[in-house]
């Protein structure tokens, strides 16, 4: 029987145990140590151009969410402020805004990249200034499934109004726009090393900072904001956000294979594009042009509303009783089968069909402006992200997905289409 094919699971390089063993041998098992320093150096080398004199600095943290939180703090976000956030994303982009008592202002997507629409962004900035008398405190574009955002146009708007940009490149590690690594254009850049990302530390993240002074402040906040006294003195609220030396060892091993991981994801994307090219009603999301060098963290297809899928008449026939992504085994059962914004029945039927064939596939992110928890947050929409949510589906793309797996997945997609 074929093993289950998962969306994106990390693959070990073979070098991780060397660094992990060093951590245990030296008794460095705390959230600091040689592996943490080494991992930060590896990341710094990766994100900075070879000829850079004044390069970016990097702080290794326990999660990408923590990185978003600390970036917002560093930009001075607090109660009553507003922060502009891409709507088509995972909740980790917007939840930290609410941690600080601020309000997320959601921006819809453009059709080609599926990321923040720069025209809507500027409209929102002008409107918020007109309505509140002050400008938003930060702008957070997101590299959805690894696809670069139009950072040149986003930075033009941000610079025009003097608003700092926090790039959420959690899904875009290794992606580039016009040859430059994502996360290095704005004031801060967010990375994630969760177990399903391009590289993993089992759980972890990092914040790309503009300079040494900014890095030092972030490091201070991430280590409970302790003052220089012979006892614990706290004059500001800090957080326990540093990455452990053991987890950083995994990251150092993973960095030795990042080139292979990137090549593999792009190869899988190419296979999906080729094998699904002649399937009527199915489209694979692609980069708009050569400036958009995506890591293709996940490969995504759309299913035309009129395409009939086997079992479609039974879509949403019963409640989901498991949690998406596991959620540590904790299931919070929803109030019903349907919501006011959900994937089309044929998309759900395709998910169920692939699941029965041992293939993990998921709908794309539900836009944040359609989430009940954000029903009162202002949103500037054009309908793009909601329309994509109704037709989009993520396909397996990780390092453990073989060429044979891709061919099997495509064969099952074709088999699912009712004739």
Distance CA 107, CA 123 (A): 10
Nearest alpha-carbon partner for 292 in 168, 169, 191, 147 = 147
Task: Flag whether pLDDT at 48 surpasses 80.
Answer: yes
Closest CA to 91 of 377, 394, 389, 365: 365
pLDDT for 14: 87
Beta strands in 288-399 (DSSP E): 292-293, 299-303, 362-363, 379-380, 392-395
Q: Which of 106, 151, 153 is nearest to 127 (CA)?
A: 106
Q: What are the backbone angles phi and psi of residue 3, rounded to the nearest 5°?
A: -65, 150
Of the pLDDT bands very low, low, confident and very high (cuts 50, 70, 90), residue 329 is low
pLDDT, tens digit (0-9, with 9 covering 90-100), for 398-414: 999 999 999 999 999 99
Whether the predicted pLDDT of 76 surpasses 80: yes
Angstrom distance (rounded) from CA 43 to CA 37: 10
Q: What is the mean pLDDT of the chain?
A: 94
Output the pLDDT for position 353. Answer: 97
Other beta carbons within 10 angstroms of residue 39's beta carbon come to: 28
pLDDT number for residue 1: 59
In the chain the domains, ranked by start, together with CATH numbers, are 16-257 (3.40.640.10), 259-416 (3.90.1150.10)
Q: How far apart are CA 167 and CA 149, in angstroms?
A: 9
pLDDT exceeds cutoff 60 at 327: no
Mean pLDDT of 379-397: 98
Q: Are 394 and 355 in contact (CB under 8 A)?
A: no
Report d(CA 43, CA 250) in Å as an integer.
Answer: 13
Among 178, 86, 70, which residue's Cα sits nearest to residue 140? 86
Range scoring the smallest mean pLDDT among 21-35, 105-119, 339-353: 21-35
* Residue-level pLDDT at 31: 80
Structure confidence at residue 22 (pLDDT): 87
What pLDDT band is residue 292 in, cutting at 50, 70 and 90?
very high
Q: Could you tell me if 154 and 119 are in contact, meaning their C-beta atoms sit under 8 angstroms apart?
A: no
- Banded model confidence at residue 28, pLDDT cuts 50, 70, 90: confident
- Interatomic CA distance for residues 419 and 416, integer angstroms: 9
Highest mean pLDDT among 24-28, 30-34, 171-175: 171-175
- Tens digits of per-residue pLDDT, 128-165? 999 999 999 999 999 999 999 999 999 999 999 999 99
Is the pLDDT confidence value at 68 over 90?
yes
Distance separating alpha carbons of residues 44 and 294, to the nearest angstrom: 20
């Amino acid at each position: 029987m074929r093993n289950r094919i998962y969306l994106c699971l990390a693959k070990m390089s073979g070098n991780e145990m060397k660094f992990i063993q060093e951590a245990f041998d030296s008794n460095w098992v705390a959230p600091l140590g040689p592996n943490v320093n080494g991992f930060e150096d590896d990341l710094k080398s990766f994100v900075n151009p070879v000829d850079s004199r004044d390069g970016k600095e990097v702080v290794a943290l326990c999660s990408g969410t923590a990185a978003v939180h600390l970036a917002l703090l560093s930009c001075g976000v607090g109660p009553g402020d507003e922060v502009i956030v891409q709507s088509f994303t995972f909740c980790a982009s917007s939840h930290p805004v609410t941690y600080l008592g601020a309000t997320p202002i959601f921006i819809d997507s453009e059709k080609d990249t599926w990321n923040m629409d720069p025209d809507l962004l500027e409209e929102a900035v002008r409107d918020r200034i007109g309505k509140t008398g002050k400008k938003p405190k930060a702008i957070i574009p997101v590299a959805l499934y690894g696809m670069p955002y139009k950072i040149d146009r986003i930075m033009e708007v941000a610079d025009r109004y003097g608003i700092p940009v926090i790039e959420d490149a959690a899904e875009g590690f290794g992606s580039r726009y016009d040859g430059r690594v994502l996360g290095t254009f704005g004031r801060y850049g967010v990375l994630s090393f969760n177990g399903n990302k391009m590289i993993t530390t089992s759980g972890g993240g990092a914040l790309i900072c503009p300079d040494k002074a900014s890095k030092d402040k972030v490091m201070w906040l991430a280590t409970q904001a302790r003052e220089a006294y012979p006892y614990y003195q706290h004059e500001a609220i800090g957080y326990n956000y540093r990455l452990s030396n053991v987890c950083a060892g995994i990251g150092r091993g993973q960095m030795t294979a990042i080139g292979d991981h990137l090549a593999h994801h792009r190869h899988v994307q190419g296979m999906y594009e080729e094998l699904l090219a002649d399937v009527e009603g199915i489209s694979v999301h692609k980069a708009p042009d050569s400036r958009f060098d995506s890591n293709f963290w996940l490969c995504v297809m759309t299913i035309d509303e009129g395409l009939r899928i086997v079992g479609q008449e039974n879509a949403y026939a019963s409640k989901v009783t498991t949690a998406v992504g596991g959620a540590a085994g904790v299931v919070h059962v929803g109030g019903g089968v349907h919501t006011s914004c959900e994937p089309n029945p044929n998309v759900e039927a395709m998910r169920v069909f692939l699941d029965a064939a041992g293939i993990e596939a998921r709908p794309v992110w539900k836009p944040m402006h359609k989430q009940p928890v954000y029903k009162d947050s202002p949103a500037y929409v054009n309908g793009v992200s909601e329309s994509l949510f109704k037709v989009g589906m993520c396909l397996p793309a990780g390092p453990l997905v073989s060429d044979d797996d891709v061919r099997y997945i495509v064969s099952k997609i074709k088999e699912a289409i009712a004739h």
